[in-house]
Structure 1
Amino acid sequence: MATPSSTDQSSITLKLLIDSKEKRVLFAEAGKDFADFLFTLLSLPVGTVIRLLSSNGMVGTIGKLYESFENLSVTYIQPTVSKDTLLKPNSPFGGSATLLSLTNDASTSKRIFICSYCSNRYWSDDPRAICPSCDRKISVELTYVEPPAAVVGGSSSDQGGFVKGVVTYMIMDDLDVKPMSTISSITMLNKFNVKEVGVLEEKTVSVGIEEGLKLLKASLESKTVLTDVFLGRKGEISIDQ
């Protein structure tokens, strides 16, 4: 199962505050775009997560379950069932232009079909569905139009996504997300018992598709996600870069 390329997606900028002595990320400073990306992970169907990470990258046996259905002959599949229903399920926010899309393929776009034989307003996301009024297939596809992308300088209602813009967000190592303030930053330094300001290092990183997939995988396995992905605790990105 191939993973999507990052060449077609713009990256998101993230500022990390690093304790260079302990080699850990204390927290990250992020805008609306990265906060939206993290919350989008909650909307990904399990089948999509497995496909993105591949069965070999999954913890436990859920990857094998995915692989078994993928390899199952259509002879044993109900004629009204499409394999893509489980293997490539649609995410409700998968095609949003305001979010960093991990899937980056047609499987995440919304497809809507209607019955062309009667005037009843029945629709489906599967062209094999049968109209309850005339017993014919609901097979005429409509053209889905994406909502407008975020408007620079516009109101929060124009920006799409999940959270409001203008606000800066503090992303903790365990992906706890909260609005950022000077007081909250000082509180975090005290919480981590940082006594020497000299050990603090600020690092700006870019988050594209590759990093997004690493964040997704680490979020399922670790409580120190940012450290694991960006500081090389698990062989990812070196702190000296």
Structure 2
Amino acid sequence: MAEKKAGLNEDLENVITLKASVDRGSNKVIFVESDGDFIDVLFSFLTMPMGRIVRLAEDSVPVEIGCMRNLYQSIKKFDVHNFRSIACKLMLLLPCNSAYLQCKNLKLKFDKDWPTRYFKCCQRCFFSYYTSVICSSCGSSISGEIPVDNTQVGGVFVKGRPRLIITDDLQVISPVSATSICLFSKLGVTDSKTTEESTFNMGVQEALNLLMHSFVSKTPLTEILLKNEPIPSLGDVHSCQGISIDSQMDGDTINEEEKNISLKLVVSKSKKIVCYAEAQEDFVNLLCSFLTLPLGFILEKMRNVSWKGCLGQLYKSVEDLDELKSNFHKELLVNPKLAPGFRYENTLLGIEETSFYYVDKKLTTDKSCIPDNASAESVKLNVVDPKSHEDKDKSAQGFLKGPATFTVTDNLVVRPLSLILEMSVLQELKVPFTDIEDHIVHMGKREALLLLVASFIGDSALTNTFIRELREPKQEQ
């Protein structure tokens, strides 16, 4: 039996032991067998906001997740005066996980250096992520830290300590539902003489590497446990991909009059690509909100879209698995919500905020913890909108000050309106001034979801979202 030890600096209390069936003939992991600790870590991936994932990738494992890194870097470079409040920039670069109360109990913690803290006023009117905020209801300072609910029975998301099977492409299967022979055949293993059992210790860094490889590979366990190959990029998709995405995505269309975001696209007539866009703060606010979205929400929107990664298999496993603790815990994973206060007021993406309740002097998101003699509304805590702490404009929305105009490239590099950037883009693309034309496009829910998916799976987000609309001939009036 082979065994891989944890690194010299790895505390053995912070590792999870995995037993793996390895095909030495092809040097591949057939499947991993583990208890609930590892399954909980895998499932926690679905709750993580994109801004935190990109931040973790920057700090340890560089990976290009479509255009998300460009978007993140653009927000990072913005002057703080571009935002409605100082908190807005931090909300995008380090967004809160709405399932933090559960994920803080994971054996492997990715965010241990960035804990989320909650504060309330003395009358318990509102709570805030920041101190020294004045409560608009009672006028007192919001400064008392709220203890979180540390009651933990069994696992974080899965009940008890089940032994589950995880395939190389992150399908989580109950041993009861799949015999070993069927599983081996399904995974292409025909000769049992080439298989052997190996033991691996997985720490925080290995789990983080696994997450990053899962964005761009169908065999992340093999790559992490056996090969440690360089991480590939999601890469670009064909310029017609928008048509494919549109035909496969789930999501309702909306009425034309509800398309309330407009932007100007500068398009190459010969290459049929979007070179860049000029847009107001409402469009860039929508882009900013992508960083606050939990991964599970994005995967739900692209369940029928083909791409290089295998996280969709993990998402589907949650839907099909019976070993979860409750329907509440399943909803945290397959229908994750935003942390309170993080919702962009323009609701094109259709995501909701979670609700926090103050029960027995502790914070919880689980309604089942509310006593029978109390209503949910009586113990619900409202959040002080962190986006508006320093903004006196009560009609303002989103994270950015307005009015403002921005230049946005096809791969989502965003800057305050910059002719220098626009000229450099045209030079890089080798597009002469005589080959460009302007198009005004209008966005609703369909386009917003297309843009989200295009931003996630490729590096031509604007082209893959709008190119079909630009190619279609306009109807005569």
**Percentage of matched positions with identical amino acids:** 31
- What CA distance in whole angstroms lies between the structure 2 residues aligned with 1:80 and 1:231? 44
Aligned residues: 219
Q: Indicate the residue corresponding to 1:144 in structure 2.
A: 147
Q: Is the 8 A contact 1:80 1:128 kept in 2?
A: no
Go from structure 1 to structure 2 and tell me whether the alpha carbon gap of 1:33 and 1:181 turns closer, same or farther (over 3 Å shift): same
* Structure 1 residue 42, shift from structure 2 partner: 0.5
Residue in structure 2 matching 1:62, options 68, 71, 88: 68
- What CA distance in whole angstroms lies between the structure 1 residues aligned with 2:165 and 2:155? 20
Q: Which deviations, in whole Å up to 9, do the C-alpha atoms of 1:86-114 show, x marking residues without a partner?
A: 11122234452243111221x2x332222
The answer to whether the aligner puts 1:212 opposite 2:215 as a matched pair is no
Q: Indicate the residue corresponding to 2:56 in structure 1.
A: 52
- What CA distance in whole angstroms lies between the structure 2 residues aligned with 1:129 and 1:9? 39
- What CA distance in whole angstroms lies between the structure 1 residues aligned with 2:83 and 2:132? 14
Q: Indicate the residue corresponding to 1:14 in structure 2.
A: 18
Q: Which deviations, in whole Å up to 9, do the C-alpha atoms of 1:185-206 show, x marking residues without a partner?
A: 2211122343322100111111
Q: Is the 8 A contact 2:105 2:156 kept in 1?
A: no
- What CA distance in whole angstroms lies between the structure 2 residues aligned with 1:8 and 1:68? 38
Q: Please tell me whether Structure 1 or Structure 2 has the larger radius of gyration of its CA atoms.
A: 2
- What CA distance in whole angstroms lies between the structure 1 residues aligned with 2:64 and 2:147? 33
Q: Is the 8 A contact 2:40 2:155 kept in 1?
A: no
Residue in structure 2 matching 1:87, options 93, 102, 105: 93
Q: Which deviations, in whole Å up to 9, do the C-alpha atoms of 1:127-168 show, x marking residues without a partner?
A: 46553324x47521314245145xxxxxxxx11400022321
- What CA distance in whole angstroms lies between the structure 2 residues aligned with 1:203 and 1:234? 19
- What CA distance in whole angstroms lies between the structure 2 residues aligned with 1:81 and 1:103? 19
Go from structure 1 to structure 2 and tell me whether the alpha carbon gap of 1:121 and 1:42 turns closer, same or farther (over 3 Å shift): same
Q: Indicate the residue corresponding to 1:23 in structure 2.
A: 27
Q: Is the 8 A contact 2:121 2:141 kept in 1?
A: yes
- What CA distance in whole angstroms lies between the structure 2 residues aligned with 1:51 and 1:186? 41
Aligned-residue CA RMSD (Å):
2.6
Q: Is the 8 A contact 1:45 1:90 kept in 2?
A: yes
Q: Indicate the residue corresponding to 1:162 in structure 2.
A: 157
Q: Which runs of 5+ in 1 are unaligned?
A: 150-157, 237-241
- What CA distance in whole angstroms lies between the structure 1 residues aligned with 2:209 and 2:148? 30
Deviation above 3 Å: which 4+ runs of structure 1?
5-9, 92-95, 126-130
- What CA distance in whole angstroms lies between the structure 1 residues aligned with 2:54 and 2:132? 26
- What CA distance in whole angstroms lies between the structure 2 residues aligned with 1:21 and 1:222? 20
* Structure 1 residue 34, shift from structure 2 partner: 0.3
Q: Indicate the residue corresponding to 1:99 in structure 2.
A: 107
* Structure 1 residue 231, shift from structure 2 partner: 1.7
Letter in 1 for 2:104: S
- What CA distance in whole angstroms lies between the structure 2 residues aligned with 1:9 and 1:47? 28
- What CA distance in whole angstroms lies between the structure 1 residues aligned with 2:133 and 2:12? 34
- What CA distance in whole angstroms lies between the structure 1 residues aligned with 2:35 and 2:144? 37
1:113-152 to structure 2, matched below 5 A, reads: 113-116=119-122, 119=123, 121-127=125-131, 131-134=135-138, 136=139, 139-145=142-148, 147-148=150-151
122-131 or 30-39, which moves further after superposition? 122-131
TM-score (normalised: structure 1) = 0.80
Q: Indicate the residue corresponding to 2:222 in structure 1.
A: 227
TM-score (normalised: structure 2) = 0.42
- What CA distance in whole angstroms lies between the structure 2 residues aligned with 1:132 and 1:26? 57
* Structure 1 residue 223, shift from structure 2 partner: 1.2
Q: Which runs of 5+ in 2 are unaligned?
A: 1-8, 232-477
Residue in structure 1 matching 2:192, options 168, 193, 197: 197
180-189 or 164-173, which moves further after superposition? 180-189
- What CA distance in whole angstroms lies between the structure 2 residues aligned with 1:15 and 1:85? 39
Q: Is the 8 A contact 1:17 1:203 kept in 2?
A: yes
* Structure 1 residue 179, shift from structure 2 partner: 1.3
Secondary structure in structure 2 of the residue aligned to 1:54: helix
* Structure 1 residue 40, shift from structure 2 partner: 0.4
Letter in 2 for 1:73: D
Letter in 1 for 2:50: V
Q: Indicate the residue corresponding to 2:45 in structure 1.
A: 41
